[in-house]
């Protein structure tokens, strides 16, 4: 339920599901918003986020995806540990025989039971204490051995680090958006299972069934029912508690998730992205995000096509530099066509051209204590204050980390980040700062902003290392 509730908050942040990579508005197969994307004015992916009631979702309200992801990933540990113990115990005992079909007759029998149910007949002898009927067995088997692994795999197939490294992986599901759609349909599947399962437990002899489930006894006493109801009360209370924690101690939740996820994400971050799409794959539409800079400085620069623009690169470096767009073009040109993964859920394929960050590093010669690189924008964050984000020095040295000045074979347009933006193909979109004004080498991200590693990490509790 925690996974489902936090998942709903994640879904509400981009309330459209697609089977294609490009996420062109109108191409979704289902949307949970009444809004058709306006064509006559700028409509960003953040504008598109929807409100969801905190009674239903965790943490609920609007655009709370940072906190929602923390809960989603934190709940995962419980899900994995519980699931591992459950499956291990199935196979360490002979309980697995109750769930795993062992003969071909099973399928026609399951069909017969299905026909029996849908023609409004109760099972002949509801006696799940001794054996499950074939349809029941099929339902349990599918949830545990088919749906759960599929949920895990489709979840992983949304990871930029995996998708842009192991090309074949998201293709197993028809691409990142299809994986996202399946991930949602699996949720619908669990909810259906829950409703049908609980209804049948109730109508086929609630008290006795609850003793089977809770106590492992076969009688009509009310004990199992009482314990079961108290346990369900506990589950509901845990939602209220999670809501309270999410809104009272969001920073603690963010840090706990960060602490537990670091070993795992550290491994993912090692993968060098190597996805290469072709010109024909380029998306006809690319969701814009963020607020256009309002600073006079940027506006002035934009007016003369950034001819007077100088990128300042400094901080803990031997040779600070100040480079014009012309200087950057003369350094080294690299091109890549890549799949962009936004934290909100949308994706898009675009061509990017620019200078590899490794060239800049070479030029400025960071001092040994410089470990982190901060990219500072002309623009502001959603809640005011300058937008910035950081990368580790080792990540910017990867060959696909690009300071891009071109998108789809044209100079970057204003909304997509002119004059410069970052491309880091193994992480989520919010790390790719647009409208870059300066670059600073520092010892640690702790000295910048609120110390969390970037504007979204500071204000919206996003992950520091979003490889998934
Ligand atoms: N300065 C700045 N850069 C930003 C953002 C922003 O709000 N401000 N949004 C980020 C997010 S969340 C994403 S997904 C990408 C979106 O890039 P696009 O507008 O080219 O699609 O830019 C990133 N860079
Ligand atoms: Mo994003």
List, for residues 36-73, the tens digit of each pLDDT value.
999 999 999 999 999 999 999 999 999 999 999 999 99
Separation CA 422–CA 374 (nearest Å):
11
Ligand nearest to the CA of 290: 1
Alpha helix (H) ranges present in 276-344?
A: 296-303, 325-331
What pLDDT, on a 0 to 100 scale, did the predictor assign at position 28? 98
Structure tokens at 315: 């901080």
Q: How many residues appear in the chain?
A: 468
Ligand 1 within 6 A of 375 CB? no
- Residue 97 pLDDT: 92
Ligand 1 pocket: which of 432, 438, 457, 459 to mutate (most atoms within 8 A of CB): 432
Q: Report CA Rg, the chain.
A: 26
Q: Verify whether ligand 1 is closer than 6 Å to residue 346 (CB atom).
A: no
Tokens of 225: 């029912």
Q: What is the pLDDT of residue 409?
A: 98
Whether the CB-CB separation of 373 and 441 falls below 8 Å is answered with: yes
Please classify residue 89 by burial: count the beta carbons closer than 10 Å to its beta carbon, then call 0-12 exposed, 13-18 middle and 19+ buried. Answer: exposed
With a 6 Å cutoff on the Cβ, whether 293 touches ligand 1 is: no
List the structure tokens of 209. 């069934």
**Torsion sign (Cα): 79, 85, 90, 95:** negative
In this prediction, residue 122 carries a pLDDT of 80
Contacts 24+ apart (CB under 8 A), 244-252: 246/58, 246/59, 246/67, 246/71, 247/59, 250/67, 250/461, 251/461
Q: Looking at residue 130, what is its pLDDT?
A: 83
Instruction: Kindly tell me if the per-residue pLDDT of 125 is higher than 70.
Output: no
Q: In the predicted model, is pLDDT for residue 424 greater than 90?
A: yes
* pLDDT value at 128 more than 80: no
Alpha-carbon span 434 to 41, nearest angstrom: 20
CA of 15 to the centre of ligand 1 (A): 18
249-305 tens-digit pLDDT:
999 999 999 999 988 888 898 888 887 799 999 999 999 999 999 999 999 999 999
CA of 345 to the centre of ligand 2 (A): 8
The finding on whether 212 has its CB within 6 A of some atom of ligand 1 is no
Q: How confident is the model at residue 129 (pLDDT cuts 50, 70, 90)?
A: confident
Q: Where are the alpha helices (DSSP H) in 129-272?
A: 134-141, 148-156, 160-163, 168-171, 176-203, 206-210, 223-248, 250-268
415 Cα nearest atom in ligand 1: 19
Cβ of residue 290 lying under 6 Å from some atom of ligand 1 = yes
Say whether pLDDT at 447 is over 90: yes
pLDDT of residue 276: 78
- What is the reported pTM? 0.96
Q: What is the distance between the alpha carbons of residues 278 and 383, in angstroms, rounded to a whole number?
A: 37
Collapsing DSSP to helix, strand or coil, 122 comes out as coil
The answer to whether 381 touches 454, Cβ cutoff 8 Å, is no
Distance between CA atoms of residues 144 and 130, nearest Å: 20
Average pLDDT over residues 408-419: 97
Query: Which residues fall inside 5 Å of ion ligand 2, going by CB?
Result: 342-343, 429-430
Q: Which atom of ligand 1 is nearest to the CA of 290?
A: 7
Nearest CA to ligand 1 atom 9: 290
Q: In a mutational test of the pocket of ligand 1, which residue from 348, 349, 429 has the highest number of ligand atoms less than 8 Å from its CB?
A: 429
Residue 350: name the closest of 290, 288, 398, 395 by CA.
Answer: 288
| Whether pLDDT at 426 is above 70 | yes
Residue 388 near ligand 1, beta carbon < 6 Å:
no
Question: 85 versus 267: which is more confidently predicted?
Answer: 85
Where helices occur in 14-118 by DSSP H, the ranges are: 65-92, 96-99, 106-118
Q: What is residue 455's three-state secondary structure?
A: helix
* Band of residue 126 on the pLDDT scale cut at 50, 70, 90: low
The whole-chain average pLDDT of the chain stands at 95
Q: Residue 199 CA to chain centroid, in angstroms?
A: 33
Domains of the chain are: 2-268 (no CATH), 279-460 (3.90.420.10)
- Ligand 1 atom with least separation from CA of 379: 1
Q: What's the gap in Å between 342 CA and the centre of ligand 2?
A: 4
Q: Residue 176 and residue 19: Cα distance in Å, rounded?
A: 8
Cα distance between residue 147 and residue 128, in whole Å: 22
3-state SS assignment for residue 197: helix
Q: Of 430, 431, 459, 462, which is best to mutate to test ligand 1, by the most ligand atoms within 8 angstroms of its C-beta?
A: 430
Q: Whose CA is nearest to atom 21 of ligand 1?
A: 288
> Element (H or E) spanning 95, and its range?
none
Average pLDDT over residues 3-14: 98
Q: Are 432 and 375 in contact (CB under 8 A)?
A: no
| Cα of 290 from ligand 1 centre, angstroms | 5
**Structure tokens that stand for 429 in this block:** 């979109």
Of residues 267 and 446, the one with the higher pLDDT is: 446
| Pocket lining: 434 vs ligand 1, CB cutoff 6 Å | yes
Q: Which of 121-135, 258-272, 310-324, 347-361 has the lowest mean pLDDT?
A: 121-135
């Amino acid at each position: 339920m925690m996974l489902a509730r936090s998942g709903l908050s994640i879904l509400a942040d981009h309330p459209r599901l697609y089977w294609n990579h490009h996420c062109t508005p109108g191409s979704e197969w289902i949307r949970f918003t009444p809004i058709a994307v306006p064509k006559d004015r700028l409509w960003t992916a953040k504008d598109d986020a929807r409100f969801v009631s905190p009674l239903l979702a965790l943490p609920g309200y609007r655009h709370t995806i940072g906190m929602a992801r923390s809960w989603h990933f934190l709940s995962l540990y419980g899900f994995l540990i519980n699931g591992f113990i459950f499956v291990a115990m199935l196979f360490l005992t002979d309980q697995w025989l109750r769930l795993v079909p062992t003969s071909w007759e099973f399928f026609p029998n399951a069909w017969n039971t299905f026909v029996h149910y849908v023609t409004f007949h109760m099972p002949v002898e509801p006696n799940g204490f001794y054996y499950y009927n074939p349809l029941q067995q099929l339902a349990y088997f599918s949830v545990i051995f088919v749906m759960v692994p599929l949920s895990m795999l489709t979840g992983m197939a949304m990871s930029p680090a995996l998708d842009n490294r192991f090309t074949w992986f998201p293709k197993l599901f028809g691409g990142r958006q299809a994986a996202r759609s399946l991930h949602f349909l699996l949720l619908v599947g669990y909810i259906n299972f829950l409703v049908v399962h609980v209804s049948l437990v109730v109508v086929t002899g609630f008290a006795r069934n609850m003793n089977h489930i809770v106590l492992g006894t076969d009688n009509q006493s009310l004990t199992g029912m009482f314990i079961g109801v108290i346990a369900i009360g506990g589950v509901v209370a845990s939602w209220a508690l999670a809501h309270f924690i999410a809104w009272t101690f969001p920073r603690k939740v963010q840090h706990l998730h960060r602490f537990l996820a670091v070993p795992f994400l550290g491994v993912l971050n090692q993968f060098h992205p190597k996805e290469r799409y072709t010109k024909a794959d380029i998306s006809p539409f690319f969701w814009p995000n963020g607020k256009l800079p309002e600073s006079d400085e940027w506006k002035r620069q934009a007016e003369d096509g950034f001819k007077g623009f100088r990128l300042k690169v400094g901080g803990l470096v031997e040779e600070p530099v100040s480079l014009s767009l012309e200087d950057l073009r003369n350094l080294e040109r690299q091109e890549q066509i890549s799949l962009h993964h936004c934290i909100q859920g949308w994706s898009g394929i675009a061509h990017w051209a620019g200078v590899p960050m490794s060239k800049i590093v070479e030029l400025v010669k960071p001092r040994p204590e410089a470990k982190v690189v901060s990219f500072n924008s002309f623009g502001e964050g959603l809640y005011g204050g300058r937008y910035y984000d950081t990368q580790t020095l080792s990540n910017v040295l990867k060959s696909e980390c690009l300071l891009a000045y071109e998108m789809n074979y044209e100079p970057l347009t204003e909304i997509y980040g002119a004059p410069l933006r970052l491309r880091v193909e193994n992480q989520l979109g919010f790390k790719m700062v647009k409208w870059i004004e300066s670059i600073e080498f520092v010892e640690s991200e702790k000295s910048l902003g609120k110390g969390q590693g970037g504007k979204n990490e500071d204000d919206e509790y996003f992950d520091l290392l979003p490889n998934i």
